[in-house]
Structure 1
């Protein structure tokens, strides 16, 4: 099956480590924003063998800001998976380190802002 060229282009905008673990499922563009929705791939969880976990939906979506693109604020809407241990019923998920500590910015964007401005500004609520 041929990949949607818009989805493929959106993947080029993602921070490097995200492409391997997340799939672009939707891209929305307005005159002010570019919103990319990502779902965690069902690749299992390290330390568990196939068959030990069953998928159990997604956590609530998180929003992470990234570099502006062509004058539009760019946001990633991230849906992390959760699984359940078949034997115990215990909820399991991967631990992700996607944002700079104390911010809602991607690590790369936060490092860029800090380098340019000497601090990471507070842009107010996500919208």
Structure 2
């Protein structure tokens, strides 16, 4: 079932979203609401590979209501990973990575 949702999302969402987020779940709520959960994987973005970064959980999830699909409401729940930069290799000194 996830594969069929993923195939559909490739037509709906910009490619950037699916390049940087994974489909976690897709579920119906009643007859007319679709919830789609996307999560940033635990992979350091290519543009930041030169530094020392460590994943420290997630930012609070955001919910985006998208345009209805054939009369059904669509909600995207997106979780971005929290990346901390280790400064000079010292785990006590960290800075947050902004994407």
- Interval containing the TM-score (normalised by the shorter chain): 0.7 to 0.9
The ranges of structure 1 where at least 4 consecutive aligned residues each deviate by more than 3 angstroms after the TM superposition are none
Normalised TM-score (structure 2): 0.75
- Return closer, same or farther for 1:10/1:42 CA change in 2, 3 Å cut-off: farther
Matches within 5 A, 1:103-114: none
Structure 1 gaps of 5+ residues are 95-127
Counterpart check, 1:89 vs 2:90: no
Asked whether the equivalents of residues 10 and 36 of structure 1 are also in contact (C-alpha less than 8 Å), the reply is: no
Instruction: Indicate the RMSD between aligned Cα atoms, in angstroms.
Output: 2.2
Q: What's 1:49 paired with? A: 50
Q: What's 2:90 paired with? A: none
Q: What's 1:32 paired with? A: 32
- Report which structure shows greater RCO (CA 8 Å, sep ≥6): 2
Q: How many residues align?
A: 91
- Return closer, same or farther for 1:33/1:74 CA change in 2, 3 Å cut-off: same
Deviation per CA, 1:62-89: give whole Å up to 9, x if none.
1112221232111110101111112321
Asked whether the equivalents of residues 10 and 27 of structure 1 are also in contact (C-alpha less than 8 Å), the reply is: no
Distance 1:86 1:24 in 2: 29
